[in-house]
């Protein structure tokens, strides 16, 4: 079943067209990667889905969630949908948490907005969500964001995003600010959450290496236009557009990596 259906989405800023006639569909439980160089329009597309674009942008086309147009909802209903049905994880995980509140308070406010639960139930729900992403729930609940590492904060942001089991998780460069080991943990975590909740994942990145393992389907974006869309296998094995070929050629091969490792001097 299609969770997200985007048809002919164009986004304009003054006289400039930044995203042009973008169409794609994401199925339940599918990991859909939107890749392309910096400035190609990936984030604007992601923002348009949650209707987070500021007033300076205008857009046309249609966006439906579970076959219902998102433009049919009132502003209040849309706010409810964001969080309950669509949630986001951003590269800048610090922006998910204000430094003045404990992490627990962020969870508590989020649960209060969407569910009617008693305080002890809200606390238990928050702690169990934190533990599902391998955080020490009781301690993190009382912590402030500045007391946590980048990897821990991104885990907390994922726990918060997945709290209400959204139908669509939009992850916009969620690992760019993290080291490679922590990035791998974060990707594994998104994968685990997807398996458990069957949510659709829209994963935005400029790094094809990150999608090689997890993506089911890939769209390649360049200068506001999707230039190629296909299954991961087709894109990886038989790319058709010269830009996709160029992106693929930028992925280090195993032999390159072996060569690089050979050249590493081990200091004892
Ligand atoms: N607030 C804004 N005002 C004017 N132009 C903008 C604004 N935000 C983005 N743009 C332009 O829209 C285009 C697409 O930007 P977008 O952030 O969607 O790219 P992206 O593919 O997500 O890039 P990145 O990988 O760097 O995040 C770029 O040319 C960018 O300069």
Residue ranges, the chain, pLDDT below 70: 252-268
- Residue 92 in contact with ligand 1 by CB distance below 6 A: no
For the domain 2-92+168-262, what is the CATH superfamily, name and number? Answer: P-loop containing nucleotide triphosphate hydrolases (3.40.50.300)
For ligand 1, atom 18, name the residue with the nearest CA: 41
- The pTM for the full model equals 0.88
User: Please, are residues 191 and 164 in contact by the beta-carbon 8 Å criterion?
Assistant: no
For ligand 1, atom 4, name the residue with the nearest CA: 13
The residue among 229, 98, 100, 86 whose CA lies nearest residue 165 is: 86
How high is the ipTM of this complex? 0.94
Substitution candidate for ligand 1 out of 14, 38, 43 with most atoms within 8 A of CB: 43
Residue 109 CA to ligand 1 center (angstroms) comes to: 31
Residue 90 CA to ligand 1 center (angstroms) comes to: 15
d(CA 155, CA 150): 9
The residue ranges of DSSP E strands in the chain, in sequence order, are 2-13, 16-27, 31-35, 57-65, 68-69, 86-90, 168-172, 200-205, 217-222, 225-231
- Residue 43 in contact with ligand 1 by CB distance below 6 A: yes
For ligand 1, atom 30, name the residue with the nearest CA: 39
- Residue 42 in contact with ligand 1 by CB distance below 6 A: yes
d(CA 5, CA 208): 23
The residue among 218, 171, 219 whose CA lies nearest residue 9 is: 219
Provide the pLDDT for residue 253. Answer: 57
User: Please, are residues 47 and 6 in contact by the beta-carbon 8 Å criterion?
Assistant: no
Secondary structure of residue 100 in the 3-state scheme: coil
The sign of the dihedral angle between the CA atoms of 68, 74, 77, 81 is positive
Provide the pLDDT for residue 256. Answer: 47
């Amino acid at each position: 079943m299609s969770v997200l259906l985007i048809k002919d989405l164009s986004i304009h800023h003054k006289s400039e067209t930044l995203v042009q006639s973008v169409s794609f569909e994401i199925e339940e439980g599918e990991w859909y990667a939107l890749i392309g160089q910096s400035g190609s329009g990936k984030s604007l597309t992601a923002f348009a889905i949650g209707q987070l674009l500021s007033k300076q942008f205008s857009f046309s086309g249609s966006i439906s969630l579970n076959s219902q147009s998102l433009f049919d909802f009132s502003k209040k209903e849309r706010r409810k949908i964001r969080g309950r049905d669509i949630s986001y994880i951003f590269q800048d995980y610090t922006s998910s948490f204000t430094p003045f509140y404990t992490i627990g308070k962020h969870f508590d406010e989020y649960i209060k907005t969407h569910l009617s639960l008693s305080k002890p139930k809200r606390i238990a729900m928050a702690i169990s969500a934190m533990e599902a992403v391998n955080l020490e729930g009781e301690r993190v609940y009382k912590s402030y964001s500045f007391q946590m590492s980048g990897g821990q904060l991104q885990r907390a942001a994922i726990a918060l995003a997945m709290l209400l089991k959204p139908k669509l998780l939009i992850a916009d460069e969620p690992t760019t600010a993290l080291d490679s080991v922590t990035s791998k943990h974060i990707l594994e975590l998104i994968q685990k959450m997807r398996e458990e909740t069957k949510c659709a994942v829209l994963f935005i990145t400029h790094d094809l290496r990150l999608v090689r393992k997890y993506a089911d389907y890939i769209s390649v974006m360049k200068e506001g236009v999707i230039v190629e869309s296909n299954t991961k296998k087709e894109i990886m094995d038989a790319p058709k557009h010269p830009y996709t070929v160029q992106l693929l050629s930028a992925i280090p091969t195993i032999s390159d990596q072996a060569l690089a490792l050979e050249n590493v001097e081990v200091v004892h």
